Amino acid sequence: MKIRRIFILALITLSISSCGLPLHRDLVVKNKGEVRQFEATNPIFANIVTQFEQAGKQYSGNPSFSVGDVPVNFGDTENPSFEGVCFSYPDGRTEVIIRESWWNSASQPLKESLIFHELGHCVLGRDHDNETVEVNGSSRKASMMNAVIVNSGQYSEFRAGYLTELFTQTKQTLFTAFGI
């Protein structure tokens, strides 16, 4: 019984501390009266947004898959531990905000991993999924939607599995790639 209480307490603590701001479906919900900061995506993100749309078409099987009206831009994530965030506004619109100082020093695979993760919240309506699996003594994230972004090496090595999981919420392809 004590272990169960500790487990439940740990889950509650993780869910509260993973983003640190009011959440709804792991979106940071803005207060009434606040409006979206941007109407269009910064061109620096256009290639990755296009890649997300192409992956969405491929992995979801929906040829008309689109990001739609979800701009991606540099700005204040309102929490120093967030490199990126999906803001949701009272009018139902969303946007992705990326910390520019992080972006300027991140690798290309890490940039894609973060943008795809945040678009997973804003476009796909995905929540965080913090499942991990042990493979040969090392821990691997079992979802692109882990609250801690998949690192460059694992993302590059298992990209197809992560994208399958992101767009279909099916983990078998990823687990097969992991060798489990």
Sequential DSSP letters for 67-125: --S--EEE---SSTT-SEEEEE-TTS-EEEEE-HHHHTTS-HHHHHHHHHHHHHHHTT-
Res. 26 pLDDT band, cuts 50 70 90: low
Asked if pLDDT for residue 40 goes beyond 70, the answer is: yes
pLDDT the model gives residue 16: 33
Name the residue with tokens 């531990």.
Answer: 81
Write down the mean pLDDT value for the chain: 88
Q: Find the mean pLDDT for residues 39-68.
A: 98
For residue 20, is it left (φ>0), alpha (ψ between -120 and 50) or beta? Answer: left
pLDDT of residue 27: 72
**Mean pLDDT calculated for residue range 12-38:** 62
pLDDT at 144 over 50: yes
In sequence order, what are the residues at sequence separation of 6 or more whose Cβ sits closer than 8 angstroms to the Cβ of residue 179? 135, 136
For the cut 80, the answer to whether the pLDDT of residue 52 exceeds it is: yes
Check residue 136 and give its pLDDT. 92
Which whole-number Å values give the CA distances from 56 to 29, 106, 164, in the listed order? 25, 24, 9
Share of the chain above pLDDT 70, in %: 86
Residue 45 confidence (pLDDT): 98
pLDDT exceeds cutoff 90 at 122 = yes
Domain ranges of the chain: 18-178
* Range 18-178 has CATH code 3.40.140: no
What value does the mean pLDDT take over residues 81-93?
95
Q: Which pLDDT score, from 0 to 100, does residue 155 have?
A: 97
pLDDT(20) > 70: no
Say if residue 21's pLDDT is above 50. Answer: no
Structure tokens belonging to residue 134: 């042990």
